């Protein structure tokens, strides 16, 4: 308790800490938002809740790490991970997802849960269980007497994440395929009637999700560390964010991603870093409660 | 029909060949050991280090003429099962080794958690287990009679860093009680012991613990703690969270430009912090059970340095890194078995158990002598400092080959 009070005291004693926490939170939140956006896409379009989301992120990280081990520049990892994970996503869709897409909720949950375990173990067998990271030889920018540190690598990562998000938004708004995806999400049967090949749309959506995750992972490996079994922590955050923001609400997903990133950092500062993930889960609980209350109110209106 | 008979003749001749081969090499009998060890899952890296250590020991003992029990020669053979780094799986596999494979002697798994899961099983069946990778002190207050550990218990891992910090404070003309300590350890049995050892020793010197936090299991970002370190300016920072803790700490300490006079970690070698982060790892203290520069020696493995060379030759994948202590202590565990079998002069597991309990052995890994609780009391922990990318022993001063760089730049 004393420690918690002390930690809160620090926030007031050194106001600049708040800026640092928020900055750190936004940087990590940007990547959560990416993974969450992919999840929202798959969830909204195909009604598949992909529990292997985080494992796609980690797999993308390993693609980039492997490239660097073989002498390629680190920044190349992001586009390459995007392409490679696109391919893997397509294969996974054809092998697994396409078979469970018409089934009920539990079948797809079980299938993607199994997929998550498989992917983690395959990564473990391929790359070993050591934590890995890619060290970019960029400088770190310091502000406020060196108190705030912004590694240029992190900055590049966030910029790449925003560029990717912007690209996806433009694609969804203006391209033919983007329109087809949105139409399928609204009503798959109507979309079929209108001549949209929904099977193709599903395959495309899942591959796109996998590719977005892969790119996020390639950024993560430059900034933090990855390990074959870290997928779950990204899956959890993606679920929290999508649940909070709702499906098909892209600005909401980004805002929720950044918000959760910052709140987690505050939680880690005040309660200790051991509770960082607990904060995310607690937020999920709160969001669900609020949603439930909102729905109850709606029902009363309907009566 | 004809084809079939031809096939059976072929098979018979093959099996004959095999039995002859085993006869030819078989003037030595086999002592069957069992081990459930992490070959997949989060402990796989260190589990494989340990397994390689076992295998190297078995080969070296074989080359040196095997285990002589009552005038007959034997070689060790180990049945391994993969416990997937999960405690319940480890316990099930231990049951299977003992009741189905009829294993009479066990080598330990990797990590304190797994050892904790398996020890009740070996105890139940009265199977002697010599383990090399479970250092939690909670293993040695349960009154186990068949559990023996060759390594130092974990509360000793970083406690010497506290002593070292006190020494440095005195040299500066300050009181040891002026030293401020920051502790960040993972929330698992091993790391919590380290925390207990450090806070006990800090309390002895009346030092103030300014940060005391638990790291999550899937740690990839500890900037929240390091921000506090920047504000509270401790004189000693202790981090323990297996390889991921070491990797994350070294990376972010450099990134956030953290200036603490003394930083002590565990698992530096396993995380390969020098290889991955280069100069960022300089002047960090790393605890180790064993170092190849120590002057211990024995007749089978030679000196610590000779052990390292021999091991690298046998396992070329370790060529470019230093051999982890997890491997050395696994080898030492097999050596304890050899020594105990020879002194017991029998394959009876009770006699072997008593012989293990009476072990007083000098090895390349250090002295081995078990307390009544089963932990090794003959070997101290070692602190090494990373100096220009090399691990140099700086504490305890009796073994130190190099001087401590203090304060850390």
| pLDDT band of A52, cuts 50, 70, 90 | very high
Interface with chain A: mutation pick from B43, B191, B227, highest number of A CBs within 10 Å: B227
Residue A2 has a pLDDT of: 77
Measure the CA–CA gap between B318 and B310, rounded to whole angstroms. 11
Long-range contacts of the stretch A138-142 (C-beta < 8 A, 24+): A140/B255, A140/B257, A142/B257
Give the residue from B64, B63, B47, B57 showing the smallest Cα distance to B78.
Answer: B57
Q: Say what the pLDDT of residue B5 is.
A: 59
**Chain A: closest CA distance from residue B389 (Å):** 16
pLDDT tens string, chain B, 409 residues long: the values are 455 555 555 555 555 444 444 444 457 899 999 999 999 887 888 899 999 999 999 999 999 999 999 999 999 999 999 999 999 999 999 999 999 999 999 999 998 889 999 999 999 999 999 999 998 888 998 999 999 999 999 888 898 899 899 989 999 899 999 999 999 999 888 888 899 999 999 999 999 999 999 988 878 888 889 989 988 999 999 999 888 889 899 989 988 889 999 999 998 887 888 888 888 899 999 988 888 888 888 999 999 999 999 999 999 999 888 788 899 999 999 999 999 999 999 999 999 999 999 999 999 998 999 999 999 988 888 899 999 988 898 877 766 778 889 888 7
What gap in Å lies between CA A193 and CA A150, rounded to an integer?
Answer: 52
**Cβ neighbours around B1 below 10 Å, total:** 5
Query: Is A186's Cβ below 8 Å from some Cβ in B?
Result: no
CB contact under 8 A, A133 and B244: no
User: Does residue B111 come out as left (phi exceeding 0), alpha (psi in the -120 to 50 range) or beta?
Assistant: left
Q: Dihedral, CA atoms, B195, B198, B203, B208, nearest 10 degrees?
A: -80
User: CB distance from A146 to chain B under 8 Å?
Assistant: yes
From the list B214, B218, B219, which residue is nearest A272 (CB)?
Answer: B214
Taking contacts as CB-CB distances below 8 angstroms, the residues of chain A near B199 are none
Whether B247 sits inside 8 A of A121 (CB atoms) is no
Q: What ipTM was estimated for this complex?
A: 0.78
Q: Of all helices (H) and strands (E), which one includes residue B63?
A: helix B44-63
**Angle of CA points A147, A153, A158, to nearest 5°:** 95
pTM over 0.80: no
Interchain CB distance below 8 Å, A224 and B44:
no
Q: Quick one: CA dihedral B241, B242, B247, B253, positive or negative?
A: positive
Is B275 within 8 Å of chain A by CB?
A: no
Per residue in A60-104, pLDDT tens? 999 999 999 999 998 899 999 999 999 999 999 999 999 998 888
Q: Which domains does chain B have, with CATH numbers?
A: 27-152+293-369 (3.40.50.2300), 156-288+382-395 (3.40.50.2300)
Could you give the C-alpha distances from A217 to A157, A207, A213, in angstroms and in order? 10, 15, 6
Q: What pLDDT is stored for residue B8 in this prediction? A: 59
Percentage of chain A exceeding pLDDT 70: 98
**Which pLDDT does position A235 carry in this prediction?**
92
Of the pLDDT bands very low, low, confident and very high (cuts 50, 70, 90), residue A300 is low
**Is any Cβ of chain B less than 8 angstroms from the Cβ of A10?**
yes
Give the Cα separation of B343 and B359 in Å (integer). Answer: 9
Give me the half-sphere count of Cα atoms (radius 13 Å) on the Cβ side of residue B301.
34
Residues A159-182 have pLDDT tens digits of 999 999 999 989 988 999 999 998
3-class secondary structure per residue, chain A: CHHHHHHHHHHHHCCHHHHHHHHHHHHHHHHHHHHHHHHHHHHHHHCCCCCCHHHHHHHHHHHHHHHHHCCCCHHHHHHHHHHHHHHHHHHHHHHHHHHHCCCCHHHHHHHHHHHHHHHHHHHHHHHCCCCECCCCCCCEEEECCCCEEEEHHHHHHHHHHHHHHHHHHHHHHHCHHHHHHHHHHHCHHHHHHCCCCHHHHHHHHHHHHHHHHHHHHHHHHHHCCECCCCHHHHHHHHHHHHHHHCCCCHHHHHHHHHHHHHHHHHHHHHHCHHHHHHHHHHHHHHHHHHHHHHHHHHHHHHC
């Amino acid at each position: 308790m004393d420690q918690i009070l002390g930690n809160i005291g620090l926030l007031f004693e050194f106001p600049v800490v708040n800026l640092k926490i928020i900055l750190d939170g936004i940087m990590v939140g940007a990547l959560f938002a990416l993974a969450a956006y992919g999840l929202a896409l798959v969830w909204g379009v195909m009604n598949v809740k992909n529990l292997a989301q985080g494992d796609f992120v980690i797999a993308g990280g390993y693609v980039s790490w492997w490239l660097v081990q073989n002498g390629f520049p680190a920044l190349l990892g992001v586009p390459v991970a995007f392409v490679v994970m696109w391919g893997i996503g397509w294969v996974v869709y054809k092998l697994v997802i396409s078979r469970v897409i018409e089934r009920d909720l539990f079948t797809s949950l079980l299938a993607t849960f199994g997929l998550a375990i498989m992917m983690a173990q395959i990564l473990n067998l391929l790359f070993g269980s050591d934590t890995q990271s890619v060290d970019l030889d960029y400088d770190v920018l310091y502000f406020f007497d060196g108190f705030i540190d912004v590694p240029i690598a992190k900055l590049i990562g966030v910029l790449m994440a925003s560029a990717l998000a912007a690209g996806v938004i433009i694609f969804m708004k203006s391209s033919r395929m983007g329109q087809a995806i949105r139409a399928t999400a609204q009503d798959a049967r109507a979309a079929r009637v209108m001549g949209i090949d929904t099977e193709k749309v599903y395959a495309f959506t899942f591959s796109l999700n996998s590719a977005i995750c892969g790119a996020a992972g390639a950024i993560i490996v430059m900034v933090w560390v990855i390990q074959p079994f870290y997928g779950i922590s990204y899956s959890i955050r993606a679920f929290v964010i999508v649940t909070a923001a709702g499906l098909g609400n892209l600005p909401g997903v980004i805002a929720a991603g950044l918000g959760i990133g910052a709140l987690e950092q505050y939680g880690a500062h005040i309660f200790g870093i051991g509770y960082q993930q607990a904060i995310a889960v607690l937020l999920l609980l709160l969001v669900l409660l609020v949603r439930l209350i909102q729905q109850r109110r709606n029902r009363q209106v309907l009566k | 029909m004809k084809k079939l008979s031809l096939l059976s003749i072929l098979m018979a001749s093959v099996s004959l060949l095999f039995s002859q081969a085993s006869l030819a090499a078989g003037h030595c009998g086999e002592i069957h050991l069992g081990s459930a060890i992490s070959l997949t899952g989060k402990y796989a890296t260190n589990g494989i280090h340990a397994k390689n250590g076992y295998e190297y020991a078995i080969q070296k003992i074989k080359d040196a003429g095997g285990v002589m029990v009552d005038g007959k020669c034997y070689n060790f053979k180990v049945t391994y099962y993969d416990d997937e780094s999960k405690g319940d799986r480890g316990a099930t596999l231990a049951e299977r080794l003992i009741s189905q494979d009829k294993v009479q002697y066990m080598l330990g798994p990797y990590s304190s958690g797994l050892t904790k899961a398996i020890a009740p099983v070996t105890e139940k069946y009265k199977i002697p287990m010599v383990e090399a990778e479970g250092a939690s002190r909670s293993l040695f207050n349960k009154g186990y009679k068949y559990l023996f550990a060759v390594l130092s218990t974990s509360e000793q891992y970083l406690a010497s860093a506290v002593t070292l910090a006190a020494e440095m404070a005195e040299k500066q003309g300050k009181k040891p009680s002026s030293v401020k300590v920051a502790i960040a350890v993972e929330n698992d049995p091993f790391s919590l012991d380290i925390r207990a050892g450090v806070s006990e020793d800090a309390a002895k010197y009346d030092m103030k613990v300014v940060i005391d936090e638990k790291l999550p299991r899937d740690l990839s970002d500890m900037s929240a703690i390091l921000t506090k370190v920047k504000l509270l300016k401790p004189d000693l920072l202790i981090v323990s969270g297996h390889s991921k803790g070491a990797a994350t700490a070294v990376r972010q300490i450099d990134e956030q430009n953290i200036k603490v006079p003394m930083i002590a970690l565990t698992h530096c070698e396993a995380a390969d912090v020098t290889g991955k982060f280069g100069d960022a790892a300089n002047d960090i203290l790393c605890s180790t059970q064993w170092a190849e520069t120590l002057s211990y020696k024995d007749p089978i493995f030679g000196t610590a340095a000779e052990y390292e060379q021999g091991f690298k030759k046998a396992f070329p994948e370790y060529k470019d890194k230093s051999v982890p202590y997890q491997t050395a202590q696994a080898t030492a565990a097999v050596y304890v078995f050899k020594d105990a079998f020879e002194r017991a002069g029998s394959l009876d597991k009770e006699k072997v158990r008593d012989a293990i309990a009476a072990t007083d052995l000098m090895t390349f890994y250090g002295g081995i002598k078990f307390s009544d609780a089963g932990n090794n009391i003959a070997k101290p922990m070692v602190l090494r400092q990373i100096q220009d990318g090399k691990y140099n022993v700086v504490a305890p001063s009796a073994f130190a080959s190099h001087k401590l760089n203090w304060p850390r730049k």
